[in-house]
Amino acid sequence: MKTQIFFIIFFLITICASSQNESIFPESWSVNEPSKDNPYGKSNSNAIPQLKDYDKLIGICACKSTRLQPDGKWSDSIALKWRWKYIMNGNGVQDEGWYGDKNNVSYFTSIRVYDQVNKTWYVTYFSPNLNNEPDTWTGGVKSGNIILKGNIKTPTGDIPSILTFSNISEKGFDWEGKILSSEEDTTGNSFWKIHCKKIGSK
């Protein structure tokens, strides 16, 4: 009898605690976060329209990456895995990447948030293999492409750059990074190219 009473009391306490946690941290706070049923998250129904700029990129891509070498020649292409998902309950976008070989992999991630006041995307990029400090780009959609400008931090100073997502579709996209000779330069010289094919989507 005592055992039964104990389990009844324990059950009631558990229900009360669960109810209290729900009132403190409502499920609605994270209903659009990545989950088993929605591995890339969902766009919040109240999100700003600009969030759709990245809608076709959401998912996972198998990519080929090539970079300009110091001798002026392009490297052989290497495999790059690029995953995109909604974060902050469907109000922002995060992408994550892995590239290199089995025993020497590099990582990166970016957080993408739209500034409604300045009407621009802010993209903060982290890659411990390339730089200890994050780099930031700003920009938006122009003629169907996502174009971002910002400085790349190097030991000798900041270098102006422009990043372009093009040929964006449900099947994949192309990405190109260019170094600019100055802040006013709009042409630049390519230093990194990536071609991506979608292999998983929302």
CATH of the domain at 148: 2.40.128.20
Q: How far is CA 69 from CA 72, 73, 76, in A?
A: 5, 5, 10
pLDDT digits (tens, 9 = 90+) for 90-124: 999 999 999 988 788 899 999 999 999 999 999 99
Q: Which residue has the higher pLDDT, 114 or 9?
A: 114
Scanning the chain, the segments in alpha helix (DSSP H) are 2-24
Same domain, 14 and 42: no
Total domains in the chain come to: 2
Q: Is pLDDT above 80 for 125?
A: yes
Same domain, 77 and 146: yes
Q: Is pLDDT above 70 for 11?
A: no
Dist CA 188 CA 176 (whole Å)? 11
Q: Is pLDDT above 50 for 6?
A: no
Same domain, 88 and 155: yes
CB neighbours of residue 36 within 10 Å: 5
Q: Dihedral through CA 89, CA 93, CA 81, CA 63, nearest 10? A: 140
Global confidence as pTM: 0.84
Residues facing 115 on adjacent strands: 120
Contact between 53 and 182 under an 8 Å Cβ cutoff? The reply is no
Going by pLDDT thresholds of 50, 70 and 90, the confidence category of residue 201 is confident
β-pairing, 172-179 vs 189-201, is: antiparallel
136, HSE (Cβ side, Cα atoms, 13 Å): 6
Same domain, 162 and 119: yes
Same domain, 36 and 9: no
pLDDT digits (tens, 9 = 90+) for 22-81: 568 788 899 999 999 999 999 999 999 999 999 999 999 999 999 999 999 999 999 999
Same domain, 23 and 45: no
Q: Which residue has the higher pLDDT, 201 or 115?
A: 115
pLDDT digits (tens, 9 = 90+) for 150-180: 998 888 888 999 999 999 999 999 999 999 9
- Residue 15 CA, chain-centre distance (Å), reads 38
Six token digits for residue 141: 């959609």
Q: Which domain holds residue 82?
A: 32-201
Six token digits for residue 153: 């931090």
